[in-house]
Amino acid sequence: MEQIANNNLPDRFDTDQVKNRNLGLELVRVTEAAALSAGRWMGKGNKEMVDQAAVDAMRHALDGVDMNGTVVIGEGEKDEAPMLYIGEHIGNGNPPDVDLAVDPVDGTRLLALGLPGALAVVATAERGSMYSAPPGVFYMNKIAVGPAFRHVIDINAPVAVNLDRIARVRSAHIDDLAVAVLDRPRHQELIRQIREVGARIRLIGDGDVAAAIQAAMEDYTGIDVMMGIGGAPEAVLAAAAIKCVGGEIQCKIWPRTEEEREKFKADGIDLERVYSTNDLVSGDDVSFAATGITTGEMLDGVQYFGWGARTSSVMMRSRSGTVRYIQARHTWKTKSIK
């Protein structure tokens, strides 16, 4: 069963949306493959096998996608990642030429421990339009919101100011708001400031891609804003989805230590620069797909049966603004268990 979020189509619906091939639908098959393979390792405590299963399945599935893709966000450099490494050419070589961002498992630890919220994620955009962080940059400070708040947030403003602006747009009180924050020691001061002004907090163990998307999607009213420090590659993946739904993410490079700060400065990296959604993904034709591996607030996880499995996915496209929720039934080709 496929549910289309914006199925109340206008009288002058652009027929090009129908005629043009939707790469996002092909990407769903890729995330489904990764989720089906990695989901077998749920709760078994082996993060390495979780990641390997997802990478192998995702790489194999990408071979059949009609595109000429280059991995911009992947598993690392070639010498440390045999597949889905940065710079690897993906797809069958046919047009379109695209940048590719992948996270075979967003929430590897969650899946290994059998915890909620692990996803398989893929995004594409026009060639040369995805941000690639400088070498050695692993983290960014982030704030992400939905379309209604995109023009009022400022990552350089105090926490209280951003929350007050969001509350005013919502015609709400600050204590009505819910803020998603990664549960990390580095966020103790951020959490203190949020509590001080009275907003509610939803701590997340891992996977800030999903949290940023939920904050940006109007369907998910449980989270109003995501704040805090997370992975730089995850910022680009989140930006791809956020661009599809019209939200906004702002980020700044975050050094982990004073030594790292000085190194970044010596390398000419501007630590005061604010990266917006369009800085992270500048293309106009962005596709995003994610499949749930373990059940979370955003998507249901993989369910296995003797005859096959069920998956739950979301697909987004910036050109049309379409968001599709796809419930798929996969039947094994081998004989069923008796």
Query: Does the annotation flag 270 for ligand binding?
Result: no
Query: Does the annotation flag 66 for ligand binding?
Result: no
Query: Does the annotation flag 234 for ligand binding?
Result: yes
Peptide bond into 134 cis (omega under 30): no
Task: Measure the CA dihedral 230/233/235/241, to 10°.
Answer: -140
Query: Does the annotation flag 189 for ligand binding?
Result: no
CA distances (Å), 96 to each of 21, 88, 127, 240, 321, in order?
10, 16, 9, 17, 19
Query: Does the annotation flag 109 for ligand binding?
Result: no
Choose among 312, 181, 288, 292: nearest CA to 236: 288
Q: Which tokens is 337 given?
A: 């268990």
Classify 160 as helix, strand or coil.
helix
Distance CA 155, CA 27 (A): 32
Query: Does the annotation flag 300 for ligand binding?
Result: no
Query: Does the annotation flag 186 for ligand binding?
Result: yes
Query: Does the annotation flag 106 for ligand binding?
Result: yes
Query: Does the annotation flag 76 for ligand binding?
Result: no
Distance CA 141, CA 249 (A): 10
Query: Does the annotation flag 158 for ligand binding?
Result: no
Max CA pair span of the chain: 65
Query: Does the annotation flag 222 for ligand binding?
Result: no
Query: Does the annotation flag 321 for ligand binding?
Result: no
Distance CA 283, CA 317 (A): 11
Which residue numbers belong to the known binding site for Mn(2+)? 51, 75, 103, 106, 234
Which residue numbers belong to the known binding site for substrate? 106-108, 139, 184-186, 206-208, 231
Which residue numbers belong to the known binding site? 51, 75, 103, 106-108, 139, 184-186, 206-208, 231, 234
